[in-house]
């Protein structure tokens, strides 16, 4: 009998649950280079929270692999699926296509004895409120508009959002103004911030005009306000929640994305900490559990931009909280990056699994080694080097079993919109 390989599962869970609540992500590759064949199924534990780093050079299959895990979570039996929800920070604007079946790779799916499947009702697309029309005009199916309430951020976070060193006089002025509004417990807007700056008599003229200018520009980003849905109220169980942040103008794109990611990450963490307490109380018999905020799998494409190794951004703090303290409240984190050495080292060291497609730079390989010091660098290097060149092949480092597997990731059931453009008619 051919046994499945189950990665990421604790041995006590394995005894109790066998292979239930796992996701089928691919097959074990045996042999080297082009002389390989596909063997046992590789199943991923979806019972417990994990930190899974997905790495690989451009076009090697990172975003595709992230989508496979989302599909598996959304396909679990209801008793598990209804306790989970996926959130994807979509920097490329590609995951809305999970609403469509993968007719594009029908031959490949057939070889794997699989059928295309759409996750139409289960995929919800969120875009910045002011861009909703633009998306709909481009025929991209959007479900919700969201915005960023300025009062959600602390004075220090505002300085980080504008990339101001905290001792800079403009940063100090900004922090003072934000502080004053927070002290009044106000739900303030960018306009309120601007008038507060104008009215302040203690600020230096050049600080005043710099702040006025900065805030006016930020107002034009079209993301601040209270319009649209409250993100934590619409993350329902069993869904794939796509936050499409791809269509932002280059100049401000990363500031806005970082603010949004900071907000989403923090909301998820706060909601899950609350939900976890209620779950404990229900277990003790003190309360009856009503609808609760599901456990979250947070996926993040191009994650090195949100939590880089060499600088602090406004999203660094909330992400690191999830990475370090997310397991207890039940938050999984799946960063994807083509530059594992550019991503914050705490993410790498907290990862309990790595899915690494082909990597070419030595620095990036060395960074992966940071995950599992028990492996010999040479083994990791050899395993990656002997992968066939085809797309969707990867090595998987599993900290639970302390093993390295070579894997061919399975084809996607739903459409993957990430294919590079070609100069031919589609």
Ligand X SMILES: Nc1ncnc2c1ncn2[C@@H]1O[C@H](COP(=O)(O)OP(=O)(O)O)[C@@H](O)[C@H]1O
What residues make contact with ligand X under the rule CB under 6 A? 56, 58-64, 108, 391-392, 409, 411, 416, 418-419
Name which of 97 and 271 has its Cβ closer to ligand X. Answer: 97
Closest CA to 318 of 130, 109, 161: 161
Contact in structure between 24 and 302 (CB atoms under 8 Å): no
**To the nearest whole angstrom, how small is the minimum distance from the Cβ of residue 62 to Mg ion?**
5
Site for Mg ion in 57-76 (CB under 5 A): 62-63
Q: Which does 60 bind (CB under 5 to 8 A by kind): ligand X, Mg ion, none?
A: ligand X
Q: How many residues bind Mg ion (CB under 5 A)?
A: 2
Name which of 53 and 177 has its Cβ closer to ligand X. Answer: 53
Q: Which does 96 bind (CB under 5 to 8 A by kind): Mg ion, ligand X, none?
A: none
Q: Which residues pair with 353 in a beta bridge?
A: 52, 398
Q: Which does 173 bind (CB under 5 to 8 A by kind): ligand X, Mg ion, none?
A: none
Q: Which residues pair with 337 in a beta bridge?
A: 55
Measured from each CB, the residue nearest to Mg ion is: 63
**To the nearest whole angstrom, how small is the minimum distance from the Cβ of residue 25 to Mg ion?**
17
**To the nearest whole angstrom, how small is the minimum distance from the Cβ of residue 414 to Mg ion?**
16
What is the Cα–Cα distance from 393 to 358, expressed in whole angstroms?
8
Q: What are phi and psi of 102, to 5 degrees?
A: -80, 75
Where is 135: in which H helix or E strand? helix 132-137
Name which of 190 and 354 has its Cβ closer to ligand X. Answer: 354
**To the nearest whole angstrom, how small is the minimum distance from the Cβ of residue 124 to Mg ion?**
21
Name which of 65 and 159 has its Cβ closer to ligand X. Answer: 65
3-state secondary structure of 48: coil
What is the Cα–Cα distance from 327 to 78, expressed in whole angstroms?
22
Pairing type for strands 22-30 and 295-300 reads: unpaired
Q: Which does 392 bind (CB under 5 to 8 A by kind): ligand X, Mg ion, none?
A: ligand X
Closest CA to 143 of 166, 163, 171, 120: 120
Name which of 23 and 56 has its Cβ closer to ligand X. Answer: 56
Token pair in block for residue 343: 């991503």
Name which of 58 and 290 has its Cβ closer to ligand X. Answer: 58
**To the nearest whole angstrom, how small is the minimum distance from the Cβ of residue 361 to ligand X?**
15
Q: How many CB atoms lie within 10 A of CB 233?
A: 10
Contact in structure between 46 and 23 (CB atoms under 8 Å): yes
The site for Mg ion (CB under 5 A) is made up of: 62-63
């Amino acid at each position: 009998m051919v046994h499945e390989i189950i990665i990421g599962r604790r041995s006590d869970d394995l005894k109790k649950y066998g292979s239930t609540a796992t996701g089928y992500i691919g097959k074990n590759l045996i042999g080297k280079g082009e002389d390989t064949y596909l063997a046992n199924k590789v199943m991923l534990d979806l019972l417990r929270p994990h930190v899974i780093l997905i790495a690989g050079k451009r076009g090697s299959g990172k975003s595709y692999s992230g989508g496979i895990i989302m599909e598996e979570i959304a396909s679990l039996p209801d008793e598990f699926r209804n306790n989970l929800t996926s959130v994807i920070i979509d920097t490329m604007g590609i995951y809305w296509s999970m609403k469509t079946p993968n007719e594009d790779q029908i031959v490949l799916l057939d070889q794997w004895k699989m059928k295309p499947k759409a996750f139409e009702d289960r995929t919800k697309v969120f875009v910045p409120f002011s861009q909703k029309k633009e998306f709909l005009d481009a025929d991209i199916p959007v479900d919700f508009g969201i915005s960023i309430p300025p009062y959600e951020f602390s004075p220090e976070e505002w300085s980080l959002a504008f990339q101001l060193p905290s001792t800079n006089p403009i940063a100090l002025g900004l922090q003072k103004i934000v502080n004053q509004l927070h002290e009044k417990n106000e739900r303030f807007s960018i306009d309120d911030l601007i008038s507060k700056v104008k009215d302040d008599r203690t600020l230096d003229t050049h600080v005043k005009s710099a702040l006025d200018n900065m805030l006016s520009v930020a107002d034009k980003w079209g993301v601040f306000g209270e319009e649209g849905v409250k993100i934590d109220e619409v993350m329902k169980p069993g869904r794939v929640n796509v936050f499409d942040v791809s269509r932002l103008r280059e100049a401000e794109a990363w500031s806005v994305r970082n603010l949004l990611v900071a907000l989403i990450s923090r909301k998820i963490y706060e909601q899950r900490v609350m939900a976890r307490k209620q779950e404990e109380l229900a277990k003790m018999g003190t309360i009856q559990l009503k609808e609760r905020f599901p456990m979250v799998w947070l996926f993040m494409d191009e994650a090195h931009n949100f939590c880089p190794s060499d600088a602090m951004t406004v999203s660094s703090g909330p992400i690191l909280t999830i990475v370090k303290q997310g397991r207890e409240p039940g938050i999984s984190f799946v960063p994807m990056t083509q530059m594992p050495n550019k991503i914050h080292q705490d993410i790498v060291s907290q990862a309990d699994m790595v899915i690494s497609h082909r990597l070419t730079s030595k620095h990036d390989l060395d960074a992966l080694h940071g995950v599992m010091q028990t492996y010999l660098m040479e083994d990791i290097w050899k395993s990656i080097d002997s992968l066939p060149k085809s797309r969707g092949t990867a090595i998987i480092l599993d900290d639970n079993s302390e093993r390295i597997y070579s894997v061919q990731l399975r084809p996607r059931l739903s459409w993957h919109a990430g294919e590079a453009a070609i100069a031919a008619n589609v």
